[in-house]
C-alpha cells in the first residue's frame, strides 16, 4: 500500500488540511471525488479547509486503498518558504526555534522567532543594545558583535531552544573570479635572476628557522608579486608599484587584510635581505587590522562536542586540544615521550614562535589514554596516520568539524575555537591572566588580554545603572 501524508497549514487566518501523495491514478480519482478537496501546484498537495470531522472523513475516504500518515498533523506550519527546506514544520506548542542571521554588509544580526516565543526573550535582546523591530518581516535587528552573537547563542541554548544560525557566505563567483585572476598571473615565468634571488631568500629563511607555513606563504606571495611586475627587475620596483599591486590585485579581488599584511611582510623581508633598491620601506603602510573577538563555546557546547564521537582516537584528540589549549599544529607533533604521567603534564615542543611550554593535563585525559594506547599502539607520535608518521592537521580539522556537526553546533567555528574556549573558561574560573598567558605560550600579555573581553566573569558582576532607578 502507498502512503499518503496529512499535514496542517494556516493561510490568511484559515486552517487547511494538506494531503501529500506520490503520483497515483487511484489516489487522484479518489481525491477528485472528495467534496471540497482542491489541488495546489505551488504546494504540490491537495488541500481543504479544516472543519469539524474533516480529518475523520478524509481517513475514512482513503483508508481502504492507502496507508495514512498523520504524524505531521501534530505540527503546525509557519510561513511557507521554499528556500528553507526542512525548516517549515515545528512541533505544535513548542517554543522556538530562533533564527539568527549575520548580515556582515549592514553590520547587524537579525533575530527571528519562527514559532512561539517568550516575552522574556525580547528583554534578553535589550541587554545587548537597542533592538529594532522590523514590522514587515517580523524580525529584530541588533548591532553585530562577537560578544552579542555568542551571548545570545549561549542564552537560547540554555533555554533549550533550537537555533538556526545563518552565517554570511562568500559568493562562489567571487572565489572563481579571484582564482582565475591569480592563476593568470602565476602562469607567467620569472626571469632566472629573480627566481635565483627568491631561492636565496628561501635558503636564508630555512637557516633562520622560519616555520614551514611562513616559508611557503612568503615564497608564494613573492612569486606572484614579481610575476605581476614581470617587466621589471626586483631592484627597479618602487613604492608606487607596490601600491598598484595592492589596488589591482589585493583590493579589487577582495583579499583579506591578513593576506595583505603577510604580503607586505614577505616584500619587506625580501628587500631587507637583498637591499632596498628604489624602495622606501619606512613609507610602506600596513592596512588597519580588524580586531574581531574570538569565537567561544559554552561549557555545555564543549561537552556536546566531546561526547559526540565514539571513536576513542578522535575523542582523546579533542580532549587533549581542549584540556591543554593546543593549536591543531601542536597536537599533531605531540610525541609519546612528551607526556609525563607522574607529573600529569604535557611538554609542548616548538610551538608558535618556536617556544616550548609545559601544561597540566586533566585526569580525564589520562583515563582515556590507556584505553587509546591499547587499541592503537602508536610507535612515536601520540596521534599517527594510517601509514604511520604524524597525524595531519587536515585530519584534525575534519575530526573537529564532524564532531561539531553531530553536536548540532552550526556556528562558523574551527579547531582553534577549543583553544579560545579553554582560555576563556580558565579566566571565568578565576585564573589570573598571567598564568593563562604562560599556558597558551603567548609572548605578550596583550595577546592574552583579548580573553578578558569575551569572558563573562566580570560582566556578570556589573550592576546595571537601570537597576538603581526608582521606576
Give the model confidence (pLDDT) of 323-363 as tens digits: 999 988 899 999 999 999 899 999 998 777 778 899 999 99
For residues 280 and 204, give the distance between their C-alpha atoms in angstroms, rounded to a whole number.
23
pLDDT (average), residues 59-85: 63
Q: Which CATH architecture has domain 3-77?
A: 2-Layer Sandwich (3.30)
**Is the model's pLDDT at 447 over the cut of 50?**
yes
Q: Where are the domains of the chain?
A: 3-77, 94-166, 172-283, 299-454
pLDDT (average), residues 153-174: 72
For residues 314 and 336, give the distance between their C-alpha atoms in angstroms, rounded to a whole number.
17
**Is the model's pLDDT at 260 over the cut of 50?**
yes
Q: What per-residue confidence (pLDDT) applies to 118?
A: 85
Check if the beta carbon of residue 218 is closer than 8 Å to that of residue 259. Answer: no
**Is the model's pLDDT at 86 over the cut of 60?**
no
Q: What per-residue confidence (pLDDT) applies to 87?
A: 34
| DSSP letter assigned to residue 147 | H
- C-alpha cell of 219? 615564497
Q: Which residues are catalytic?
A: 327, 352, 416, 419, 442, 451
205-254 pLDDT, tens digit per residue, is 999 888 887 898 899 999 999 999 988 899 999 999 999 898 888 888 87
Check if the beta carbon of residue 244 is closer than 8 Å to that of residue 205. Answer: no
Q: How far is CA 161 from CA 115, 123, 239, 289, 374, in A?
A: 10, 16, 55, 36, 41
- C-alpha cell of 5? 501524508
**Is the model's pLDDT at 289 over the cut of 80?**
no
Question: Does 309 or 96 have the greater pLDDT score?
Answer: 309
Which of 97-101, 256-260, 394-398 is the least confident region? Answer: 256-260
pLDDT (average), residues 275-298: 78
Q: Which CATH architecture has domain 172-283?
A: Orthogonal Bundle (1.10)
Query: What percent of the chain stands above pLDDT 90?
Result: 24
Q: What per-residue confidence (pLDDT) applies to 129?
A: 74
The candidate with the shortest Cα–Cα distance to 242, out of 272, 264, 218, 220, is 264
* CATH class for the domain made up of 94-166: alpha beta
CATH topology (fold) of 299-454 = hpI Integrase; Chain A (1.10.443)
Q: What per-residue confidence (pLDDT) applies to 2?
A: 82
Give the residue ranges of DSSP H helices in 333-466: 363-376, 393-406, 416-428, 433-440, 445-448, 451-454
- C-alpha cell of 25? 491514478
Q: What per-residue confidence (pLDDT) applies to 169?
A: 54
Residues 6+ away with beta carbon under 8 Å from 133: 139, 140, 141
> pTM score, two decimals?
0.51
- Averaged pLDDT score across all residues of the chain: 82
Q: What per-residue confidence (pLDDT) applies to 331?
A: 92
**Is the model's pLDDT at 128 over the cut of 80?**
no
Amino acid at each position: 500500500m502507498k502512503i499518503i501524508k496529512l499535514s496542517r497549514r494556516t493561510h490568511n487566518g484559515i486552517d487547511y488540511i494538506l494531503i501529500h501523495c506520490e503520483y497515483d491514478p487511484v489516489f487522484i480519482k479518489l481525491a477528485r471525488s472528495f467534496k471540497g478537496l482542491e489541488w495546489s501546484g505551488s504546494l504540490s498537495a491537495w488541500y481543504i479547509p479544516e472543519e469539524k470531522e474533516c480529518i475523520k472523513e478524509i481517513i475514512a475516504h482513503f483508508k481502504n486503498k492507502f496507508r495514512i500518515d498523520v504524524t505531521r498533523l501534530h505540527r503546525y506550519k509557519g510561513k511557507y518558504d521554499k528556500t528553507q527546506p526542512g525548516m517549515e514544520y515545528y512541533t505544535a506548542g513548542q517554543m522556538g526555534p530562533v533564527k539568527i542571521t549575520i548580515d556582515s554588509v549592514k553590520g547587524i544580526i537579525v533575530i527571528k522567532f519562527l514559532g512561539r516565543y517568550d516575552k522574556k526573550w525580547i528583554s534578553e535582546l535589550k541587554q545587548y543594545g537597542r533592538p529594532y523591530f522590523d514590522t514587515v518581516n517580523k524580525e529584530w535587528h541588533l548591532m553585530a558583535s562577537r560578544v552579542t552573537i555568542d551571548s545570545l547563542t549561549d542564552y537560547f541554548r540554555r533555554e533549550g531552544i533550537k537555533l538556526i544560525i545563518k552565517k554570511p557566505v562568500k559568493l562562489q563567483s567571487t572565489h572563481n573570479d579571484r582564482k582565475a585572476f591569480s592563476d593568470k598571473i602565476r602562469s607567467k615565468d620569472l626571469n632566472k635572476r629573480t627566481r635565483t634571488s627568491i631561492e636565496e631568500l628561501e635558503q636564508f629563511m630555512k637557516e633562520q628557522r622560519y616555520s614551514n607555513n611562513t616559508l611557503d606563504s612568503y615564497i608564494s606571495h613573492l612569486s606572484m608579486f614579481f610575476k605581476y611586475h614581470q617587466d621589471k627587475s626586483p631592484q627597479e620596483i618602487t613604492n608606487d608599484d607596490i601600491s598598484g599591486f595592492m589596488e589591482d590585485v589585493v583590493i579589487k579581488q577582495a583579499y583579506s587584510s591578513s593576506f595583505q599584511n603577510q604580503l607586505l611582510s614577505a616584500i619587506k623581508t625580501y628587500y631587507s635581505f637583498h637591499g632596498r633598491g628604489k624602495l622606501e620601506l619606512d613609507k610602506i603602510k600596513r592596512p588597519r587590522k580588524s580586531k574581531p573577538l574570538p569565537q567561544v563555546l559554552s561549557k555545555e557546547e564543549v561537552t556536546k562536542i566531546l561526547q559526540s564521537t565514539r571513536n576513542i582516537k578522535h575523542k582523546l584528540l579533542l580532549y587533549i586540544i581542549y584540556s591543554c589549549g593546543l593549536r591543531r599544529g601542536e597536537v599533531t607533533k605531540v610525541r609519546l615521550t612528551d607526556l609525563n604521567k607522574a607529573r600529569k603534564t604535557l611538554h609542548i615542543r616548538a610551538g608558535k614562535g618556536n617556544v616550548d611550554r609545559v601544561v597540566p593535563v586533566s585526569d580525564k585525559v589520562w583515563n582515556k589514554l590507556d584505553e587509546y594506547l591499547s587499541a592503537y599502539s602508536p610507535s612515536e607520535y601520540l596521534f599517527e596516520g594510517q601509514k604511520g608518521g604524524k597525524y595531519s592537521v587536515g585530519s584534525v580539522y575534519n575530526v573537529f568539524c564532524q564532531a561539531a556537526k553531530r553536536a548540532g553546533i552550526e556556528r562558523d567555528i574551527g579547531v582553534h575555537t577549543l583553544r579560545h574556549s579553554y582560555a576563556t573558561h580558565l579566566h571565568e574560573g578565576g585564573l589570573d591572566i598571567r598564568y593563562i598567558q604562560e599556558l597558551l605560550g603567548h609572548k605578550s600579555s596583550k595577546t592574552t588580554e583579548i580573553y578578558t573581553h569575551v569572558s563573562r566573569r566580570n560582566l556578570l558582576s556589573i550592576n546595571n545603572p537601570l537597576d538603581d532607578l526608582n521606576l
